[in-house]
Amino acid sequence: MSLLLGCIADDFTGATDLAGNLVRAGMRTVQLIGVPAPGDPVPDADAVVVALKSRTAPVAEAVADSLASARWLRAAGAPQLYFKVCSTFDSTPAGNIGPVALALADLVGAAIVPVTPAFPEAGRTVFQGHLFVGSQLLSDSPMRQHPLTPMTDANLVRVLQAQLPAGVRVDLVDHRTVAAGAPAIAAGLDALAGAEGAGCRFAVVDTVDDDALRRLAAAAQGLPLVVAGSGLAIGIPALHGLAPGAAASALPPAAGAAAIVSGSCSAATQAQVARFLDGGGAAFAVDPLSIAAGDDVAAQALDWATPRLGDAPLLVYATAAPEAVQRVQAQLGAAEAGALVEATLACIAAGLVQRGVGRLVVAGGETSGACVQALGITRLRIGPQIAPGVPWCHAASALRSQGLHLALKSGNFGRQDFFRDAFGALVQ
């Protein structure tokens, strides 16, 4: 069966977020890490999400990677492309949302492309073309101070227009049209694409709640390209006759020892590690200064772990309180400390899997990236959700012939009992 939807996400955790929404709404989904090569086999799935690192990459690289992914997805049979951007529309006047969206629109011959980063469940809504984060305009939210993509204008029509060449126009389909239903939205999009709105290729669509997203998904069903946050995904599976259910999130039965590798120092992860230690779980602390001093900390951790591997999860962690992290960073430099710890934890994750771990939780976004790379993983089948934004996945790995169950948790996700919840949620 060929694909129903081909998605290109501009970062890794955004890809997982989108994939999770598709699975919850009933689509069997596989996430590919990086641009697939022309001969790569098409997974047996309804939707494929290609995870790129294009959000803050140089524009030309972001466009080239996105186009290569789009060609692969189209060759795999995807009738519609979904360019997944951040729900806070993270970008700069140079891009990369505008240039990538335009290149994709040209590739698929899209006359008009609806655009909405809305994700009401997470407090992101679009009204009169303006993006709100909770009750605040985007430009009044902490996003105005983002180190790489400060968002100082909440008017998405203006923000996107500034990223496009002169002559490519952005307009708005407003909330009144959206409230009137899918046919009205479709007519509104057609009108903008037609003579009246000559030159209009992109339409920001007001989306203040999940119903608005569902109406927009229906209106866009025949269009070859949509640009959206992960929210729009909730409306797409039903259009293909798919409904939420266990079949979409089914993974092979889990097997093997259980382990957690944590390199996140975010508040939520600190609380989760503290809860694990309080509960008497077996844990090994990785000391960055010891790595810097030349000790083979990975070997020490693996020697400690090997006799303890089994059904009860063990924890290897570098997670530390802000004061401790600052002390380490003052001695080693923040980037150097981060790289040392990531490399060590990735080596430990790979060693654990070689020694029989088949159920692995990794805490930390960057840490997850390093571990996935060390495990030689290039595709993840997305399974049931443990906590919002964190599903269990199943992946083939060169280090374990029967594959591996993996949960990649970005820092601030999950409640305090996340580690217990995670292993409790996995069917063996």
The residues that touch ligand ADP, with contacts defined as CB under 6 A, are: 263-266, 269, 288, 318, 320, 324-325, 328-329, 337-338, 341-342, 364-367, 410-411
Nearer to ligand ADP, 52 or 228 (CB): 52
Nearer to ligand ADP, 12 or 202 (CB): 12
Give min distance, CB of 372 to ligand ADP, in A.
Answer: 12
Nearer to ligand ADP, 169 or 275 (CB): 275
Give min distance, CB of 78 to ligand ADP, in A.
Answer: 30
Give min distance, CB of 23 to ligand ADP, in A.
Answer: 22
Q: Which structure tokens are listed for 428?
A: 């063996």
> How far apart, in whole angstroms, are the C-alpha atoms of residue 56 and residue 91?
7
Phi, psi of 116 (to 5 degrees): -155, 125
Nearer to ligand ADP, 288 or 384 (CB): 288
Nearer to ligand ADP, 366 or 417 (CB): 366
Report DSSP letters for 303-315, one per residue. Answer: HHHGGG-SSS-EE
Give min distance, CB of 5 to ligand ADP, in A.
Answer: 28
72 touches 38 (CB < 8 A): yes
CB atoms within 10 A of CB 383: 25
Nearer to ligand ADP, 228 or 298 (CB): 298
Give min distance, CB of 409 to ligand ADP, in A.
Answer: 8
Tokens 């443990």 belong to which residue? 386
Three-class secondary structure of residue 86 per DSSP: coil
By CB atoms closer than 10 A (0-12, 13-18, 19+), residue 278 is: exposed
Q: Which structure tokens are listed for 299?
A: 């070997």
Give min distance, CB of 39 to ligand ADP, in A.
Answer: 33
Half-sphere exposure of 113 (CA within 13 A, CB side): 31
By CB atoms closer than 10 A (0-12, 13-18, 19+), residue 211 is: middle
154 touches 130 (CB < 8 A): yes
> What residues form DSSP beta bridges with 406?
360, 393
Phi, psi of 263 (to 5 degrees): -120, 10
390-397 vs 379-387, strand pairing mode: antiparallel
> How far apart, in whole angstroms, are the C-alpha atoms of residue 428 and residue 258?
11
Q: Which structure tokens are listed for 236?
A: 């797409």
Nearer to ligand ADP, 367 or 397 (CB): 367
Nearer to ligand ADP, 141 or 410 (CB): 410
Nearer to ligand ADP, 309 or 320 (CB): 320
| Chain position whose Cβ is nearest to ligand ADP | 411
Give min distance, CB of 226 to ligand ADP, in A.
Answer: 28
Cα–Cα distances (Å) from 409 to 248, 364, 415, in that order, read 21, 6, 11
Phi, psi of 395 (to 5 degrees): -140, 145
Nearer to ligand ADP, 205 or 422 (CB): 422
Give min distance, CB of 323 to ligand ADP, in A.
Answer: 11
Give min distance, CB of 72 to ligand ADP, in A.
Answer: 28
The per-residue b/e assignment along 410-428, b for 16 or more CB within 10 angstroms, e otherwise, is: bbebbeeebbbbbbeebee
Give min distance, CB of 61 to ligand ADP, in A.
Answer: 22
> What residues form DSSP beta bridges with 200?
169
